[in-house]
Amino acid sequence: MIFEPTAIPGAWLLRVERLADERGFFARVWCRREFADHGIEIDMVQASVSRNEQAGTLRGMHFAKPPAREGKLVRCMRGRIFDVLLDLRPPSPAYLKHIAVELDAEACDAVYVPPGVAHGFQTLVDDSDILYMMSDFYRPALSAGVRYDDPAFGIRWPLPVTRIAERDQAYADFHP
């Protein structure tokens, strides 16, 4: 794996190193030792899949409140998404800033979202599947979010929103 740092401290873009031949390719997509070598000491304890049938579907911006320490490894397994990370950690030099990357099934790249950073995505094509690996168990009482279109963040989504959960559009304006 190739670890590329992002403008958000502790967040990484992970590119696969393909070993290709006439059959296709093989690539490592998770290695505890390689993550530790980059300062990410985590154990993944859960994995989930998100199926999204329509382009323009938006999920996010979600995070887990302390004392949760949920980091996420996010990969698009089918289709293509516009993936956004929003730093909500007040001591961070990137506080209230966001980054966006496109993830698609063909490239097999992923992003690592550290604890305290909100995450969301918009599907760019129909039938997109996203795999999440999490470093903490889901606890509904600690599940939180901020609104995807809150002017405090200035996130520009590439497509009109076609589908979104009620809770994702109902978060109040953010006030630090």
Q: Which residues contact 60 (CB under 8 A, 6 or more apart)?
A: 84, 118, 119, 120, 121, 145, 148, 168
Residue 62: closest CA among 138, 129, 11, 125? 138
DSSP 87-131: E--TTSTTTT-EEEEEEETTT--EEEE-TTEEEEEEESSSSEEEE
Token readout for 113 is 């979202």
Point out the residues that are catalytic: 62, 132
CA separation, residue 67 to residues 42, 89, 116 (Å): 16, 13, 10
Q: Residue 88 carries which side chain, given as an amino acid letter?
A: L
Residue 123, number of CB atoms within 10 A of its CB: 26
**Residues composing the chain:** 176
